[in-house]
Structure 1
Amino acid sequence: MTDAAALPGQPRGGVRTGSATPRAVNVLAPNPSAMTLDGTNTWIVAEPDSDLAVVVDPGPLDDGHLRAVVATAERAGKRVALTLLTHGHPDHAEGAGRFAELTGTRVRALDPALRLGGEGLAAGDVITVGGLELRVVPTPGHTADSLCFHLPADRAVLTGDTILGRGTTVVAHPDGRLGDYLDSLRRLRSLAVDDGVRTVLPGHGPVLEDAQGAVEFYLAHRAHRLAQVETAVEDGYVTPAEVVAHVYADVDRSLWPAAELSVRAQLDYLREHGLI
């Protein structure tokens, strides 16, 4: 879900399609919407001198897009050797089975239901393909199965829907939980502060060049919205729909159903902490 706020380090204009870092290339899926922004970013990640590549989030079940990902890799002299998923939402993962058929690759994910080839992903895993190193970072909150992938060589992190390139994301209640999401944002802040991550390669929207600024913006935004929800309840707005209409009046009404998911997650968080 997005709002009108601008993130630190956000480029002007549309999504950067093509090379984003020395090792990461974006192929934009043709599925733009209010929820997906310009579309899903499918990432091809590889060492510059290697002929093997990893694809993160093949995207929707759109044969033209999936074939375009393969063709983009091939034009760069790369063969797709592995497919990874940041989480199971259809705009990121629905095309994974077909993509596996096209490339002959395994699909690795946190959720066993999304895996093809038997091998999953877990916190602390280090994935190496053709000299490339990706580190698995657990970031539940948007969904329970959300992961990010740290690309140390480029000081970058692939964030799926945990951080977007424009606006903010939804906490997809009941699967997503706000407490988990705040912990995940703090984990990403540590990557920026302690591990030197500078670049966010998001699942939607443009690349962000100020990772720490983006995380700080998200944390401040969540704190602000949480305080607004708490105040709304104190003022007599009881149901999630009532809270949305009051607190998210600045957000396009087409996004209110998604906002209600976040509000439900916020209400749960406030109850769990004895604040309402």
Structure 2
Amino acid sequence: MMAVPPRPWPTGTAEQLEPLVVRVLAPNASPFTYTGTQTYLVGTDDLAVIDPGPDDAAHLAALEAAIAGRRVAAIMCTHTHRDHSPAAAPLAAMTGAPVVGCAPLRFPGDNSGVEAAFDQDYEPDRVLLDGEAMTGTGWTLTAISTPGHISNHLCFALEETGAVFTGDHVMGWSTSVIVPPDGDMGDYVASLQRLYAREQDRIYYPAHGPAVTNPHQLVRGTIGHRRAREGQVQRLLGEEPRALEALIPAMYAGVDKRLWPAAQMSVLAHLIDLERRGLVARSGDTWRALA
């Protein structure tokens, strides 16, 4: 995990990253969002707005200033966690642009559990399937289905430049958190392997943290990291059966304890994946190795 850079951060500032890409940082920094959610504007004459971010008045004003009166062809969401998609609706009302990208997710309940992290008000005008694209003047954004962090997650490949907008699937500052039941570790690793197979990708622009200029190296390392965590789980359960909570201090001794609840969710995702593969079993709250 990368250390958070010192303030001031460029919150609300339109930063030109390359000729077709501008970044605007939202003011929602946290231990889970790094310095905040990064919204990307793609294009010059007409624009795609990727991951509009939280429904925050200051961020929407910063986006309006960065758009500067140009036509917005699409508001594109990688997934529907609350730090990514809630600004889509007010931005659509402001610009008249359609909301395009990931599918909506609906969870029954009173928004007090896991489902509270999801934007259940998200209503896309068009859902992009894997391989489908949005186009504008001088740009093409192709959807890459990358479930795992969340089941509806998409990345968007900018075909003209080799850039990929990776949302929360791949980030340079931290590995993605996988939260069951919607998050799935097996799907996540398979999606990483899919990105690794794309030799044409030059740079990743994640929703949090700095651009990834060595994408294939980072993805290979992330797959290795997940395999190492899986091996830790198997080794610890091979020593003795343990509850989920008992695995965390041994596995994350050097990690900020504020992040342990999120780490516990990813370990649970590993356990569920290992159980599905017949490598561990559970009895009540206790897990044991089978192989």
Taking structure 1 as the reference length, the TM-score comes to: 0.88
- Residue in structure 1 matching 2:15, options 7, 15, 18: 18
Q: Which amino acid aligns with 1:230?
A: Q
CA distance in 2, matches of 1:135, 1:99: 22
Deviation at 1:78, TM superposition (A): 3.1
- Do the aligned residues in 2 keep the contact of 1:164 with 1:204 (CA within 8 Å)? yes
Deviation at 1:20, TM superposition (A): 1.9
Q: Which amino acid aligns with 1:93?
A: S
Partner-residue secondary structure (3-state), 1:159 = strand
Deviation at 1:109, TM superposition (A): 3.0
Structure 2 counterpart of 1:67:
61
Partner-residue secondary structure (3-state), 1:215 = helix
**1:160 counterpart = 2:167:** yes
Partner-residue secondary structure (3-state), 1:91 = coil
Show CA shifts across 1:145-194 (max 9, x none): 11000112111100000011212111121111111001100111112x2x
| Matched positions, count | 259
Which structure has the larger Rg over C-alpha atoms? 2
CA distance in 1, matches of 2:182, 2:104: 16
Structure 2 counterpart of 1:231:
235
Partner-residue secondary structure (3-state), 2:242 = coil
1 or 2 for the larger relative contact order (CA 8 Å, sep ≥6)? Answer: 1
- Do the aligned residues in 2 keep the contact of 1:84 with 1:108 (CA within 8 Å)? yes
Structure 2 counterpart of 1:38:
35
Q: Which amino acid aligns with 1:163?
A: V
Structure 1 counterpart of 2:212:
208
CA distance in 1, matches of 2:189, 2:14: 30
CA distance in 1, matches of 2:191, 2:102: 15
Partner-residue secondary structure (3-state), 1:134 = strand
CA distance in 1, matches of 2:263, 2:180: 10
**Runs of 4+ displaced beyond 3 Å:** 13-17
CA distance in 2, matches of 1:88, 1:237: 36
**1:272 counterpart = 2:264:** no
Structure 1 counterpart of 2:114:
none
Deviation at 1:82, TM superposition (A): 0.9
Structure 2 counterpart of 1:130:
137
Deviation at 1:96, TM superposition (A): 1.3
Deviation at 1:73, TM superposition (A): 2.0
- Residue in structure 2 matching 1:257, options 247, 258, 261: 261
* Structure holding more helix per residue: 1
Q: Which amino acid aligns with 1:267?
A: L
CA distance in 1, matches of 2:252, 2:23: 32
Q: Spell out the pairing of 1:236-247 with structure 2 (5 A cutoff).
A: 236=240, 238-247=242-251
- Do the aligned residues in 2 keep the contact of 1:108 with 1:115 (CA within 8 Å)? no
Which one is further off, 96-105 or 145-154? Answer: 96-105
CA distance in 1, matches of 2:14, 2:180: 31
Q: Spell out the pairing of 1:184-195 with structure 2 (5 A cutoff).
A: 184-191=191-198, 193=199
Identity, in percent, stands at 38
**1:91 counterpart = 2:54:** no
RMSD: 2.0
- Do the aligned residues in 1 keep the contact of 2:104 with 2:152 (CA within 8 Å)? no
- Do the aligned residues in 2 keep the contact of 1:148 with 1:157 (CA within 8 Å)? yes
Show CA shifts across 1:222-244 (max 9, x none): 11111111112222252221111
Structure 2 counterpart of 1:115:
123
Show CA shifts across 1:36-64 (max 9, x none): 00100101011x4xx20000011011011
Partner-residue secondary structure (3-state), 1:92 = coil
* Structure holding more strand per residue: 2
